[in-house]
Structure 1
Amino acid sequence: MCNDIAPRESEMSLAELRGDCARMAPHWVVPAKRATEPVAPSLINGVTVPSSSARLIDAMPEYGD
């Protein structure tokens, strides 16, 4: 089956789309941000970190000793 009809470009311009989004923004609800709890290292399993990556992170002052 052959479709000889070329796809039409959208009849809406970018400016119209942005205007529609701006009008809808007040109607969008933003969920309350939840604080995440730290996870105990004993609960983390199945993660393998190559030694070269571990050395790289250890050498970074903000993450290392």
Structure 2
Amino acid sequence: MTNLKVHSAAPADPEGDLASLRGDCARMAPHWAPPEKIVSPPVSPSRIHGVTVPARSARLLEDMPDYGN
């Protein structure tokens, strides 16, 4: 599915078909480029307010070696 060649400026079928849809997508692909990676600085724990974790979830994470122990 890497056929990015476009042979016509407009689809011949006004209802559209798979070939015209692929052509439209190929023409629009440059406009859908992802933005540059935005890196946010870490937030200080003192600025985090109002976050609550249920005790059951906290115990579950404490028992996981990757997170708690």
Same fold (TM over 0.5): yes
TM-score by length of 2: 0.61
Provide structure 1 residue ranges, at least 5 long, that are not aligned to the other structure.
Answer: 1-10
Identify if the C-alpha distance between structure 1 residues 19 and 57 changes in structure 2 by more than 3 Å, giving closer, same or farther: farther
Give the aligned residue type for 1:50: P
* Percentage of identical aligned residues: 64
Higher relative contact order (CA 8 A, sep 6+): 2
Aligned length: 56
1:39 to 43, 46, 55: 43
Deviating 4+ runs (over 4 angstroms)? none
What residue is the counterpart of 1:50 in the other structure?
54
Superposed CA RMSD in Å reads 2.2
The TM-score with structure 1 as length reference comes to: 0.64
